[in-house]
Structure 1
Amino acid sequence: MSIEFIPNRFQGQTAIVTGAGSGIGRATAIRFAREGARVIATDVVADRLDQLTADFPDLDITTLVGDVSLEDTAQALVTAAGGTVDVLANVAGIMDAFLPLAEIDDATWERVFAVNLTSVMRLTRAVLPGMIEAEHGAIVNVSSEASLRASASGVAYAASKHALNGLTKSVAVVYGPKGIRANAVAPGAVKTNIEAPFKSAWAQERLGPLMAIIPTFAEAEELAASITWLASSDASNVNGVILPVDGGWAAI
């Protein structure tokens, strides 16, 4: 697979990328930086961020370790950005062990929603005042194929990603007139280190056959290409879109 970078596409811009220590977040942070952006990269695992900067010492990437579901982390990221954020890529997310409703525990439900939804709300809320003042800004959220169907995850993940789509569209409708765009990508299967075990025998029996139709796993860089396109001026008339990037899964 060969994906071309677009030099200077984000020159002079500052981008915050969550979940930047691995997978889609790492690929997205690297791509933004290679295309000229100053990147504020965050992850909950310090070693991953250390590896990112060690691998790309020439790129303008500032790292910050933190739990994105916490308000303190959201504020720290905006401070690290210097108060001016042109692009926000909410990539961080966790799965739910495919637990169905009769088997879900409160801790799993609350943690999945904290990372997949509340973190996006808090960080978007934190960057919006600056974007409104500047009259421009691009927000790209990483949703999921599970936001379009109920057969791709457990109940907590599916519900959190459906809600994320609604949050994305709400921001687009309310703040579009202020020059702010909010869109989401909905990946299918991607080669990342996100943990997705079946901890429910019934879910394995019920959902396993339905998931046999999943197309080939995508590379994280393919998602990063879609995210950066949505954040760029090439997508200036795209707002409130949930873009499936799933090899055609959504069309089946």
Structure 2
Amino acid sequence: MAGISQMVERVGGAIAFEVIDHMPPWLSPAPTVLFHHGIGARSACWDGWTPALAGRHRLVRFDMRGHGASPLPAGFRLSLSALVDDVLAVADATDTDRFHLVGESTGGTVALALAARLPERVLTVTVSNGAHRGGSIRNLEPWRRIIREEGMAAWSAYMMDQRFFEGALTREMRRWYETQQAGADPDAVLGVAAMLVAVDLLPELDRVTCPVLLLHPDSSPFIPVETMAELKRALPDARLQVIAHARHGLPFSHAAECAAAVAGFIDGTSCAEQP
């Protein structure tokens, strides 16, 4: 479900974003939910979340650098700090002072880093199949060889089995996801992966003061459930929900279930009433 597509100019290239706002104009401004996808995805991967959230929240989503309509300029150095700044640039461009932040995979790591750095900007955080310690991420070794020797289409085909169990998607959904994933910039994919492996947010997590929901698949080949259990213990206010028979593509394959969980989480927090 498309919104109003826009671009915000950034050092190192523009970021494409869109706003979905179905709230009647006579009601009070709705809280904003800002979405950050992970490696190989793009903002449209959140379409399945829109029905559960758009009637009560303003939704903002964007394409990470090197994905979708956000280019990765040659020589640009991808870093966690740069990705945090991109989120803030999108928030500022949409006049969003405080927001609920939902991140999947890489987006989850960025969300935690942002909430630790600027807790006053974040109402709640939802991390779906994300990690706080790069050293805990598994099975990234084949990526560089596949991409460099066989190309992005081969990497995308390989990744589909890592993301989804057989039968988790319709044929049309699977074809769409595999095609758009193959269109990601290879330097962005490998650059973000290298950045993630070096991350360790554990010393900063006590600064994440807002409520946090951890959504995690029971069968991610990259991030074990034990890593999420460690993350839950390290956060001041966190809850963990493990979703059965799901792999690393959890937010896409289980969109309705995840969106319902996030809607309930947001509505159930004391922060939900704040603009």
What TM bracket, shorter-length normalisation? 0.3 to 0.5
TM-score by length of 1: 0.36
TM-score by length of 2: 0.33
